[in-house]
Amino acid sequence: MTFQTQEQYQFIESILFENLGHHPEVLDFQFFYGGNFNLAVKVKVAEGNYFIKWNQGDHEGMFESEARSLRVLRETGVLSIPEVINYGKILDKEYLMMEFLTAGFQQENYWQDFGQKLAKLHLHTNQNHGLDFNNYVGALRQSNEWMENGVAFFIEKRLKVQAGLALYDRKISPELYEKFQRLYEKLPSLIPNEKPALLHGDLWSGNVMTDNEGLVALVDPACYYGLREAELAFTTMFGGFNTVFYEAYHEVYPIENGFGDRIPLYNLYPLMVHVNLFGGGYLDAVEKILKKF
Ligand code: ADP
């Protein structure tokens, strides 16, 4: 068992001391490199296995909002979400400590069960779209200020923010920004204004795991109450979700006709997040969608 640096060793030790109240013997640990900038370890001590993540950059409040998002989802009791032990700042770095998910053998009905559970999560509704705190999507801030109208929320708090950021950073041209403006006028007639649904908010296959019973567990949420079709659309962006999943979802909470045609519209949001985070590689797709609509 070797920690990469003495500094990281002290950091993990301090987190364990703060949260367990003593200096436990570290029986095992493993580094994880899942996301784009966070570092994470699995730490095994006598009390159990913990997953601790921290970031190198300056993302104030990121783990607080992730912890709160995890708790919002966990409180529904609909599906497995790791229990948050704590979050805080130690040695000038923010961290998040949670239960380590140990995957069991994936059950045969995994995807069917997942589809049903996601639909049940989406049936958790609210008066308005948004959330009572803001969070992050990747490394970007995501504003969840409440709004009554879901399509207006999607335009104001999602598309406009990302398009504005991209224009400011010169990642898109003023002409493309203008095309977004024209789309906003059309959007209310293109996508259904459904009830606010509790969303995971960053549902791609990298955040989908298996719990110890062999059923779905979700990590790394950016949750809010929003348009559920936006969440379903995002699951198709990088793939990995099979037809059984969508069928099972549809049986519990039927998807409105014409969803397939609307997918690109919803995916403008994650695409623009990717443009802002990783640059122009995703711009072609954005241009095509704007041209089409
Ligand atoms: P990032 O915020 O950097 O994207 P994630 O929270 O997605 O990091 O975690 C990175 C990877 O670590 C995930 O893809 C998953 O494989 C694994 N992971 C995340 N949370 C847990 C957990 N509680 N228990 C076990 N593995 C986890």
Residue 202 a catalytic site member: yes
pLDDT digits (tens, 9 = 90+) for 193-241: 999 999 999 999 999 999 999 999 999 999 999 999 999 999 999 999 9
Atom number in ligand 1 closest to CA 33? 10
Atom number in ligand 1 closest to CA 219? 20
Residue with CA closest to ligand 1 atom 2: 35
Q: What are phi and psi of 67, to 5 degrees?
A: -60, -45
Q: Which residues contact 255 (CB under 8 A, 6 or more apart)?
A: 229, 232, 246, 249
Whole-number Å distance between alpha carbons of 61 and 201: 17
Q: pLDDT band at 95, cuts 50/70/90?
A: very high
pLDDT value of position 1: 42
Cα dist. 96→47, 77, 86 in Å?
Answer: 17, 21, 6
Counting other chains too, the contacts that 69-76 makes at CB distance below 8 Å and 24 or more residues apart are 69/135, 69/201, 69/221, 69/222, 69/223, 70/98, 70/219, 70/221, 72/131, 72/198, 72/221, 72/223, 73/121, 73/198, 73/200, 73/218, 73/221, 73/223, 76/121, 76/124, 76/198
Whole-number Å distance between alpha carbons of 58 and 111: 37
For residue 144, pLDDT over 90 is answered with yes
Whole-number Å distance between alpha carbons of 221 and 202: 6
For residue 3, pLDDT over 50 is answered with yes
Which stretch of DSSP H or E encloses residue 30? strand 28-32
CA of 37 to the centre of ligand 1 (A): 12
Residue with CA closest to ligand 1 atom 16: 34
Q: pLDDT band at 17, cuts 50/70/90?
A: very high
Domains of the chain: 6-99 (3.30.200.20), 110-292 (3.90.1200.10)
Residue with CA closest to ligand 1 atom 1: 35
Tokens of 255: 């998807």
Q: Which residues contact 32 (CB under 8 A, 6 or more apart)?
A: 39, 40, 41, 42, 51, 53
Residue with CA closest to ligand 1 atom 17: 34
For residue 89, pLDDT over 70 is answered with yes
ipTM of the shown complex: 0.97
Contact present, 222 and 142 (Cβ < 8 Å): yes
CA of 214 to the centre of ligand 1 (A): 17
Which stretch of DSSP H or E encloses residue 208? strand 208-210
**Catalytic member of 28, 58, 132, 202:** 202
Q: Which range, of 14-23, 36-45, 62-71, averages the lowest pLDDT? A: 36-45
Q: What are phi and psi of 144, to 5 degrees?
A: -120, 25
Q: pLDDT band at 92, cuts 50/70/90?
A: confident
Q: Which residues line ligand 1 (CB under 6 A)?
A: 32, 34-35, 38, 40, 51, 53, 82, 98-101, 206-207, 209, 219-220
For residue 34, pLDDT over 80 is answered with no
pLDDT value of position 60: 85
Residue with CA closest to ligand 1 atom 9: 34
Residue with CA closest to ligand 1 atom 6: 220
Atom number in ligand 1 closest to CA 100? 24
For residue 56, pLDDT over 80 is answered with no
Sign for the pseudo-dihedral over CA of 259, 263, 268, 271: positive
CA of 34 to the centre of ligand 1 (A): 6
For residue 120, pLDDT over 60 is answered with yes
Give the angle subtended at the CA of 285 by the CAs of 281 and 286, to the nearest 5°: 100
CA of 218 to the centre of ligand 1 (A): 9
Whole-number Å distance between alpha carbons of 227 and 197: 6
Contact present, 221 and 184 (Cβ < 8 Å): no
For residue 37, pLDDT over 90 is answered with no
CA of 99 to the centre of ligand 1 (A): 11
pLDDT digits (tens, 9 = 90+) for 151-178: 999 999 999 999 999 999 999 999 999 9
For residue 13, pLDDT over 70 is answered with yes
Q: Over pLDDT 70: what percentage of the chain? A: 97
pLDDT value of position 190: 97
CA of 162 to the centre of ligand 1 (A): 25
Average pLDDT, the chain: 94
pLDDT value of position 276: 96
